[in-house]
Structure 1
Amino acid sequence: MTELSQHEPEDDTESVNGLLEEVLREFAALEPDADPLRVELVTSEILGEWWEAGDDLAAELIEFASAAPEPERLVGPLAALRTLATTEEQREAAGLALEKLGLPEPDWAGRLNQVAAGECWRTADVYGDETSVLCVFGEGEQSHGLLVSIGYAVFGGWVDEAVIVESPEEVVAEMHSQASEGGDLVTVEAITPGRAHQLLADAFVGTELQSEPEVTDDYVRFRALAMARTRALPQAERVDEPKIMTTEDQAEAIDEFFRASPDLVDNEAARVCALRIIEFGCEHDPRRPLRVGPDKLASFVDFVDDGAIELTEEQDEALEAVLPAWARWGARRDGLPEDAVEPLLEAVEDRLYERALETESTVDSYLDGFDGLDEEGVAELLERRQFAVPSVYTEIADEEVELDPADPEQRRLLVIGEHPDFQASLAEDDLDEEAFLTVAAHTTVVDQLWDNEPAEVWQAAQRLLAKGMPRTEILDELAATLEARLETDDGDGLEFDIDDYVQALDELN
């Protein structure tokens, strides 16, 4: 029998009622005449913790209000949610629940988000990759600001940081200082509150549409309050809808690009690269799909490397020449100042150089343990191992890390990275037995593919590939075949009958 090690899962989850009780205590500590901004900050931090954990406890709290044994304790949280909950549905539900309680509200309840919008400022880099927006609320010593950072490289623009600042005048001075020191690369301008509303509202949508946005701790903490302050701004100014690039428009842009790039080889592979860059722009930067910027072009390369944008090997090779040429053409087309062109080209070259190093390092990892293979042998080895582990990148604790698939422990983390539904339980050592067996089967199958032992695993995978089955479904099928044969041994491990397993693999069609 073949054995696998097993780690017993533990159950140490905190109940929803316990979390709600903690919230009720925090609001009980707030005086009825507490400063509204303090209440807003407390509420925003609580909502941020819930959002980051993926828990909709605001809905739980609102539902709990109808049957709470001490309804007076719910007044404060409901009053805060009525204004600061991040969805209109929850704000309305909280208001309705509060109305049904019919109890007196704290003095601060009617003063939440009752702020007067003042001046608004915007800084931006000359490429259009990044923007910071500052909105001032209140006057004099009582004023505060909302400072939001927006990136436009992907997702049509999205917020990755938002913070409430106590001295907005200092931020305005810093904005002007950055623009002065940045020369032609940074601009600063006063904008109307309505324009600020439009920029912020659209960018928050870009963040919220992502399943796992890479945001700062400040974004999590101030998210709810930042969205509330955005709603407090005057009505958002209307902007024109993005002009859709037709197939003819795209073809014309590609022709123009090659006419302007006589040193670039004009072949099908290069034209497909140009088309993929345009398609990326249409999806992620629809208002300016042909815009070039260091972050935007680096993000395009990231999407290629992650497999989100598919290129053939020939097209991938052509990208090394196409991308710098596209940056030069785009810089001229956008009318970028001379001082901005060189940094743009350097950023593109640096990203391609990093990519070459990553590729070389990655190939070395996949060829680990095999020297002297001929070209055909290398191709077969890479095909099998890259099927088993298609990427050397994964997320651990919300941070993207590069791992070595040749290391069994790091390879296991890469496999687990493809199963985000298990990651939280694994981090807390809280997998139930069924989930544990599934993870164990998947990691073992990947190890078997990596080592080609038993060879029948890869043979079965190739048969299923030939039938058009997607990689993830094939791995699920192989893992299910193994999992059905796993048994607990006398210790803390798992074992399976190798002969029975190989026979089942041979029957997989």
Structure 2
Amino acid sequence: MTDLPQQESSEAQSASELLEEVLREFAELDSDAEPLRVELVTSEILGEWWEAGDDLAAELIEFAATAPEPERLVAPLAALRTLAISDEQRQAAGLALDKLGLGEPAWAAALNQVGVGECWRTADVYGDESSVLCVFGEGDAAHGLLVSIGYGVYGGWADEAVIVESPADVVADMRTQAAESDGLVTCQQITPGRAHQLLADAFAGTEQQNEPEVTDDYVRFRALSMARTRALPEPEPADPPKLLSTEDEAEAIDEFFRASASLEDTEAARVCALRLIEFGVEHDPRNPLRVGPDKLAAFVDFVDDGEIELTDEQDEALEKVLPAWARWGAWREGLPEAAVEPLLEAVEDRLYERAMETTESTMDVYLEGFDDLDEVEVVALLERRQFAIPSVYTEIAGEEVELDPSDPEQRRLLVIGEHPDFQASLAEDDLDEESFLWVAAHTTVVDQLWDDEPVEVWQAAQRLLARGLDRGEVLDRLAGALEQQLETGESDELEFDLDDYLRALDELS
């Protein structure tokens, strides 16, 4: 047996070893092997390459022209001629095989030559999820392609695809699911042309993603699933996108607020509604105003990932806009009452989950440097530090930013963010002495509160709060007590006598 040519780099050597392993796998397939077995082996190999991000199919096709033992390339080229993902690679594999001029295995001509049987589809009432089953072959050779499609984003995409041995059992399960769903799931037979259109669109939606979250079965059966889709009759025309003009969007927003009397009609809320429409136009173009648990959860995911930008005010409004949008959309779509409550519950659950994620993330920042605190200690620590820095968000130079208060420099920016009048002067290093002392005192007091050092600062703050002063007034009093003690030291840095400062704090009551 002749090995592939020696490569110089370790990466090339690794590819060479992988190709050699593939040639050995195909050598183990008899000429009279069952076509389905060959298809499964090929699909699994192509899936491994796809998951690893390696296009070894192209290398294998190119290697055929100079292979020392070209007969070893016949089987994999014959398989790639039918099962490679792209038209270009299938054609290239066929051309390379023709150039070898060698006899092909008996199974080669039978690959993907299957009869098409019934096609079935289940779909939830929202239009969020669907499963498509296509039956191929007859009798003992019958098998099915079952694909799960989500319509929350990308116009629909497949996250699972599997070849099933008993399609009749799957059809029975699909019917049972629909019958027991209280009208939330439908099951119907569809034409093979319709199935082709649904599957082709779904696979395209998956392939356009950089790192789609798919199952292991999708990886394994990806190539064979796409080949079986090509074996279906020509796809039926898809429904055209519903184009919405600016006027259409404005009318939909007006209608939404008219129907949502309990929702305050603010600019922030209207922006949220517009972003929901824009999201639908991009990711659900055939029904952009459709609502469903998965679609609305995907919208929230896009907001959290920064792909949809909202200001703090708009983000806060989203908590009330999203449930109202779901309710209005359910009414607009004529969803059955049995579907409305689960939809609203799903939306509320996603918003609660989001709030908890934000809270946990923020709490981690505020608890920085402390481990193994009991519940009472955690509450006390959060109370003090959140008094010092109420929010990790602020506006600097007109731009909203999220900062880490556990970092001293970022913590001081959060303090400065509360006082926009000083920002321009600070940026230009043009603060007068009085303003400089004011800023220095306030940032130092916040640092002391954050670190609880000296502890008398927080004790004084608590006394002032108990008297009914608000946070701003308390900070001003604390900073004033410190500012009175500030002096310029020998190194031109501000200093203060700790004992005098503590006495000044003690006098605050």
Note if contact 1:124-1:188 (Cα within 8 Å) is conserved in structure 2: yes
User: Which amino acid is the alignment partner of residue 313 of structure 1?
Assistant: D
Q: Residue 171 and residue 376 in structure 1: after superposition, are their counterparts in 2 closer, same or farther (change >3 A)?
A: same
1:128 and 2:127 are equivalent in the alignment? yes
How far the C-alpha of 1:450 sits from its partner, in A, is 6.2
Deviations 1:478-507 (A, max 9, x none): xxxxxxxxxxxxxxxxxxxxxxxxxxxxxx
Change (3 A) 1:383 1:30: farther
- SS in structure 2 of the partner of residue 221 of structure 1: helix
CA contact (8 A) 1:137 1:144 kept: yes
1:118-140 Cα offsets, whole Å, 9 max, x none, are 10000000000000000000112
Distance in 2 between residues matched to 1:225 and 1:293, nearest whole Å: 31
Q: Name which of structure 1's ranges 234-243 and 38-47 shifts more when overlaid on structure 2.
A: 234-243
Provide the TM-score with structure 2 as the length reference. Answer: 0.73
Question: Contact 2:394/2:402 (CA < 8 Å) preserved in 1?
Answer: no
Give yes or no for contact 1:131–1:151 (8 Å, CA) kept in 2. yes
Residue 488 of structure 2: aligned partner: none
Q: Distance in 2 between matches of 1:374 and 1:161?
A: 45
Residue 198 (structure 1) aligns with? 197
Query: CA 1:108–1:266 in 2, change beyond 3 Å: closer, same or farther?
Result: same
Q: Report the Cα distance in structure 2 between the residues aligned to 1:264 and 1:216, rounded to whole angstroms.
A: 40
Aligned to 1:331: 330
Structure 2 residue aligned with 1:184: 183
Give the structure 2 partner of residue 81 of structure 1: 80
1:263–1:274: structure 2 CA closer, same or farther, 3 Å change rule?
same
What's the CA shift for 1:14?
Answer: 5.6
Aligned to 1:39: 38
Identity, % of aligned pairs? 72
What corresponds to 2:348 in structure 1? 349
How far is 1:377 from its partner? 3.9
Question: Per the alignment, do residues 381 and 132 of structure 1 end up closer, same or farther by CA in structure 2, a change over 3 Å counting?
Answer: closer
- Name the structure 1 match of 2:278: 279
1:367, distance to aligned residue in structure 2 (A): 2.2
Contact 1:367/1:382 (CA < 8 Å) preserved in 2? no
Question: Do the aligned residues in 2 keep the contact of 1:367 with 1:378 (CA within 8 Å)?
Answer: no
Shift >3 Å, 4+ stretches: 11-14, 373-384, 449-458
Rounded to whole Å, the distance in 1 between the matches of 2:311 and 2:159 is: 33
Which has the larger displacement, 363-372 or 283-292? 363-372
Alignment-derived partner of residue 116 in structure 1: 115
How is 1:241-252 mapped onto 2 (pairs within 5 angstroms)? 241-252=240-251
Contact 2:78 2:104 in 1 (8 A): yes
Cα distance in 2 for residues equivalent to 1:450 and 1:93: 58
* Residue-by-residue CA offset, 1:142-185 (whole Å, 9 max, x unaligned): 10000000000001000000000000000000000000110210
Provide the rounded CA distance (Å) in 2 between the counterparts of 1:91 and 1:362: 49
In structure 1, stretches of 5+ residues that fail to align are 1-10, 392-405, 407-448, 468-509
**Distance (Å, rounded) in 2 between the aligned partners of 1:333 and 1:455:** 47
Q: Distance in 1 between matches of 2:177 and 2:410?
A: 61
Aligned to 2:155, what secondary structure does the other structure show?
coil
Counterpart residue number, 2:443 = none
Measure, in 1, the Cα distance between the counterparts of 2:55 and 2:237.
Answer: 32
Specify the SS of the correspondent of 1:237. Answer: coil
Rounded to whole Å, the distance in 2 between the matches of 1:203 and 1:286 is 14
Distance 1:65 1:153 in 2: 43
Give 1 or 2 for the bigger CA radius of gyration. 2
Q: Distance in 2 between matches of 1:223 and 1:61?
A: 19
Aligned length, in residue pairs? 393
Aligned partner of residue 164 in structure 1, secondary structure:
strand
Distance 1:221 1:354 in 2: 33
Match of 1:438 in 2: none
Distance 1:457 1:85 in 2: 56
Q: Residue 25 of structure 1: CA displacement?
A: 0.2
Name which structure has the greater RCO, CA cutoff 8 Å, separation 6+. Answer: 1
Task: Please give the alpha-carbon distance, in whole angstroms, between the structure 2 residues aligned to 1:157 and 1:369.
Answer: 42
Say which SS state the counterpart of residue 180 (structure 2) adopts.
helix
For 2:159 and 2:135, the matched residues in 1 are separated by: 20
1:239 CA displacement: 2.2
Are the structure 2 counterparts of residues 119 and 314 from structure 1 closer, same or farther at C-alpha, using a change threshold of 3 Å? same
Q: Distance in 2 between matches of 1:19 and 1:179?
A: 45
Alpha-carbon distance between aligned partners in 2 of 1:215 and 1:156, rounded to the nearest angstrom: 16
Local SS of the residue matching 2:188: strand
C-alpha contact 1:193 1:234 (8 A) present in aligned 2: yes
Does 2:167 align with 1:168? yes
Does the Cα contact within 8 Å between 1:367 and 1:381 map onto a contact in 2?
A: no
Please give the secondary structure, in 2, of the residue aligned with 1:15: helix
CA distance in 1, matches of 2:387, 2:307: 28
> Residue in 2 aligned with 1:91?
90
Q: Which amino acid is 2:303 matched to?
A: V
Distance change (3 Å), C-alpha of 1:352 and 1:380? closer
Aligned 1:124-273 pairs, distance under 5 A: 124-273=123-272
CA distance 1:248–1:85, shift in 2 (3 Å): same
The 2-side partners of 1:306 and 1:148 are apart by 28
Q: Any idea what SS the aligned residue of 2:31 has?
A: coil
Distance in 2 (alpha carbons) for counterparts of 1:282 and 1:302: 17
Alignment match, 2:418: none
Q: Check whether the contact 2:175–2:187 (CA below 8 A) recurs between aligned residues.
A: yes
Q: Which runs of 5+ in 2 are unaligned?
A: 1-9, 370-380, 415-422, 429-509
Letter in 2 for 1:286: P
**Aligned-pair distance for 1:356?**
1.3
1:205 and 1:119 map into 2 onto residues whose CA distance is 23
Structure 2 CA distance for partners of 1:185 and 1:84, relative to 1, 3 Å? same
Q: Which residue of 1 aligns with 2:433?
A: none
SS at match of 2:29: coil
After TM superposition, give the deviation of residue 99 of structure 1 in Å: 0.3
Q: Which amino acid aligns with 2:193?
A: G
Structure 1: distance between partners of 2:413 and 2:352: 36
Q: Which residue of 2 aligns with 1:488?
A: none
Quote how far apart the aligned CAs of 1:83 are.
Answer: 0.1
Work out the CA distance in 2 between the residues paired with 1:35 and 1:109.
10
Indicate the SS of the match to 1:66. Answer: coil
SS in 2 for 1:320: helix
- Please tell me whether the aligned partners of residues 366 and 386 of structure 2 are also in contact (alpha carbons under 8 angstroms): no
Q: Distance in 2 between matches of 1:454 and 1:390?
A: 9
Q: Secondary structure at the match of 1:183?
A: coil
Which amino acid letter does the alignment assign opposite residue 224 of structure 1?
Answer: A
Cα deviation, residue 360, structure 1 = 1.2
Is 1:321 the counterpart of 2:320? The answer is: yes
